[in-house]
Structure 1
């Protein structure tokens, strides 16, 4: 009697199926861990925003940091990078402008497009927040080895680098840095 080999193209390889299931389990666990990290970050941004001004929301802090890092940038670019409704982003930008953290200017390429840049006051504030966050993270990473930290950093960098660039369409995109939401030329800040 002839039995079909496990390596037959008609039968799934048991080893590959197990590896695939194991990979799926790992990805699910990573998603769960990211959810906790995001929840921690959201609560921190909300707390810091409330310290600055009662009308400023946590999302406003995220917007300010992104303007600082990617600016000059358009509101459309911000909403696409953050995957948020443009009206929500625009309200936060208006509040940040009112508080003196964001400035606007027309794009040289198309004066209909408004570019957002962070003010020196925003830069100073974000630097203070980074120092506070660094203290919190130093406590959390206190018992990690340098090798563990390097491995985490490398993995996060690899993950973040694999993300597809957000492309902004229309005039805002043409006036954006590398046609992805920020103004052309120069290095990203932050």
Structure 2
């Protein structure tokens, strides 16, 4: 097996179990990892249009529409008019902001356990490596 094959095999072996366990952690909030990704985008970078969310997540706009509808039903997000009245932006509600902070605290032990024994410097390097791979794939 080449170094490249080994790297992506290890990534694959980590990704699904991580996502499955993350979904277990999010059950309490009636969320899945993809919905959590939308909430994280909104808390980190502010309101976004459906198209911007779709582009950020590399998924189709109809999928984003369903994600946002569910988050709206839970009271976590709302849509508001953008600068152009035709544009609608998705933003967190006050309840959504509170829930995101609560979820972040709830997930902290899970994430710390997942990274147990990994030096901070290695985590920073891995984060940079994964960001570069993502950029390479989407060029």
Where on the TM-score scale, by shorter chain, does this alignment land: which range?
A: 0.7 to 0.9
Summarize the Cα distance change of 1:38–1:120 in structure 2 as closer, same or farther, 3 Å threshold.
Answer: farther
Summarize the Cα distance change of 1:139–1:41 in structure 2 as closer, same or farther, 3 Å threshold.
Answer: closer
State the TM-score, normalizing by the size of structure 2.
0.78
Measured on the aligned residues, the alpha-carbon RMSD in Å equals 2.5
State the TM-score, normalizing by the size of structure 1.
0.60
Question: Could you tell me how far apart the structure 2 residues matched to 1:119 and 1:47 are?
Answer: 24
Q: Aligned pairs, how many? A: 136
Q: Highest CA radius of gyration, 1 or 2? A: 1
Point out the structure with the larger helix share. 2
Larger RCO (alpha carbons 8 Å, 6+ apart): 1
Question: Could you tell me how far apart the structure 2 residues matched to 1:123 and 1:117 are?
Answer: 10
State whether residues 25 and 107 of structure 2, in contact with CA within 8 Å, keep that contact through their aligned partners in structure 1.
no
Summarize the Cα distance change of 1:37–1:133 in structure 2 as closer, same or farther, 3 Å threshold.
Answer: farther
Question: Could you tell me how far apart the structure 2 residues matched to 1:142 and 1:58 are?
Answer: 21
**Aligned with residue 110 of structure 2, among 120, 127, 136:** 136
Instruction: State the partner residue of 1:149.
Output: 120
- Deviations 1:102-135 (Å, cap 9, x if unpaired)? 1211111x11010111123223322232223321
**Aligned with residue 6 of structure 2, among 29, 34, 50:** 29
Instruction: State the partner residue of 1:59.
Output: 34
Summarize the Cα distance change of 1:134–1:52 in structure 2 as closer, same or farther, 3 Å threshold.
Answer: closer
State whether residues 49 and 60 of structure 1, in contact with CA within 8 Å, keep that contact through their aligned partners in structure 2.
no
1:124 is the counterpart of 2:124: no
Question: Could you tell me how far apart the structure 2 residues matched to 1:95 and 1:34 are?
Answer: 29
1:50 is the counterpart of 2:27: yes
Cα deviation for residue 68 of structure 1 reads: 2.1
Instruction: State the partner residue of 2:44.
Output: 69
Q: How does 1:4-19 map to 2 (within 5 A)?
A: none
